[in-house]
Amino acid sequence: MSGANLWQAVVFVPALSVPAFEEAVGEDVLACSSFETAPGGPWSIQMLLPDPVDQDGLETRLARAAASLDLPAPALRLSQVPERDWVTASYQALPPVRAGRFMVHGAHDRSAARRDERGGAIALEVDAGRAFGNGRHETTHGCLLALDHLAKGRRFRHPLDLGCGAGVLALAMARLWRVEVVAADIDPWAVSVARANSRLNRLHPWVRPVLSDGFEDPKLSADAPYDLIMANILARPLQRLAPAIAAHLAPGGRVILSGLLARQDAQVRAAYRAQGLYLAGRRRLGEWLTLELSR
Ligand SMILES: C[S@@+](CC[C@H](N)C(=O)[O-])C[C@H]1O[C@@H](n2cnc3c(N)ncnc32)[C@H](O)[C@@H]1O
């Protein structure tokens, strides 16, 4: 699929109206992400659409949603997605995977990785082995996009990748900030694959793999608080981990959750809201959601 086959649409709306507008555009969109533009300010909803775009239909649905909320219809900004945009690349279904500035590749794509790096990309070589995470799954992809977005505005000093699998997210954070990243997983094999991948990418001085079920290993608590916790697990364990994640988060810290389905959004968010963590961004790729939360 070439870049000319995809369109990006953006609207700015009040925070409380985001779910209604997201639902209004519903099935037409390939991907949809929403972010607050400033604390307490309007949210931006960004949608990715296939060509041809039914602009009139989309505007009508947005206007209807606005009318039902007693709001003015939001102005729709529509633009073609440029060639080699992340989404274009990710829809090609062929390696390597690109997500924002990140490029996740196998050993066979080293020359493409070097080329991309000269253009400013952050290339990560990942041998997934039997551990989850070659960057191709929507849940990991969503995390990399959320991380890329977050890193544009802020530098984190002490992040945690909980449920690190092959370590893609820990590697990404280590490359962004060159700080110690704790990478924990319940699966001993994942921990050893993450360790091998941190060596492969010469990031072993920064990535510290730990075998732990949630925060059970005392090393994880001893190292707390974390200013960024990324957890790409599944909805149920994410709900169960909500109190521990909140307890190990530094004041002003951020949490990125992935591995939940769109229909599990409300139950996961409720578990974190009960811990004083609120939605600051949401990204949907296919059926999967990535949530960004802050205190
Ligand atoms: C969906 S994979 C994500 C891997 C990697 N973070 C990525 O995005 O590619 C989830 C990982 O979480 C781990 N996991 C599941 N429950 C866990 C728990 N309670 N504590 C730590 N890790 C857990 C699994 O072993 C698995 O490696």
Would you say the CB of residue 184 lies under 6 angstroms from ligand 1? yes
Q: In testing the pocket of ligand 1, which one of 164, 230, 236, 288 has its CB within 8 Å of the most ligand atoms? A: 164
Mean pLDDT (the chain) is 88
**How many of the other CB atoms lie within 10 Å of CB of 107?**
10
Q: Where are the domains of the chain?
A: 3-80, 149-294
CATH 3.40.50.150 is the classification of domain 149-294:
yes
Cα separation, 166 vs 145, whole angstroms: 18
pLDDT at 24: 87
Would you say the CB of residue 185 lies under 6 angstroms from ligand 1? yes
Q: Is 149-294 the same fold as 3-80?
A: no
Q: How far is the CA of 33 from the centre of ligand 1 (A)?
A: 23
Name the 3-class secondary structure at 34.
Answer: strand
User: Which residue type does 45 have?
Assistant: I
* pTM, two decimal places: 0.75
Over the stretch 16-40, which tens digit does the pLDDT of each residue have? Answer: 898 888 888 876 777 777 877 777 7
Over the stretch 254-285, which tens digit does the pLDDT of each residue have? Answer: 999 999 999 999 999 999 999 999 999 999 99
> The domain 3-80: what is its CATH number?
3.30.70.2190
Average pLDDT over residues 214-237: 96
**How many of the other CB atoms lie within 10 Å of CB of 125?**
17
> Of all protein residues, whose CA lies closest to atom 4 belonging to ligand 1?
165
